[in-house]
């Protein structure tokens, strides 16, 4: 069964350092999402891509966070500099489309990257 791949699974870093997370969506999925999940809370959307274009990054703290999906396939989320409050699980999800029949909008999640900022 196809899965969304994320790496690393765990990342420990010190405050003010730079970190990067990688996501490889299910093959053929045009839409890619990055979510942040704080312990004990539901995931919150950071950025949505359709192919290589950003659909919505209104919740992305752009002073320190950046995301790219250069070839419309895999994606990288970067934080620079990391702050203590960034400690969370970073989840990537993908779907065939964002729009049209609901069956094509089902989001499949990766296992996430657990970030700890010391």
User: Shortest gap between Cβ of 32 and other proteins (angstroms)?
Assistant: 12
User: Hey, is 71 helix, strand or coil?
Assistant: coil
User: Shortest gap between Cβ of 18 and other proteins (angstroms)?
Assistant: 24
40 binds other proteins (CB under 8 A): yes
39: CB partners within 8 A, 6+ apart? 88, 89
* Interface with other proteins (CB under 8 A), residue from 8, 106, 116, 118: 106
What does the alpha-carbon distance between residue 4 and residue 35 come to, in Å, rounded to a whole number? 13
Closer by beta carbon to other proteins, 31 or else 75: 31
75 binds other proteins (CB under 8 A): no
Residues in the chain: 118
């Amino acid at each position: 069964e196809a899965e969304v791949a994320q790496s690393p699974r765990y990342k420990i870093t010190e405050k003010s350092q730079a970190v990067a997370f990688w996501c490889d969506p299910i093959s053929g999925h045009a839409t890619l999402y990055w979510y942040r999940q704080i312990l004990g809370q539901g995931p919150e959307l950071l950025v949505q891509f359709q192919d290589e274009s950003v659909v919505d990054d209104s919740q992305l703290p752009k002073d320190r966070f950046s995301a790219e999906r250069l070839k419309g396939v895999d994606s990288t989320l970067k934080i620079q500099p990391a702050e203590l409050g960034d400690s969370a699980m970073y989840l990537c999800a993908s779907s065939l489309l964002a729009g049209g029949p609901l069956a094509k909008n089902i989001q499949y999640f990766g296992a996430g990257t657990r970030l700890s900022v010391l």
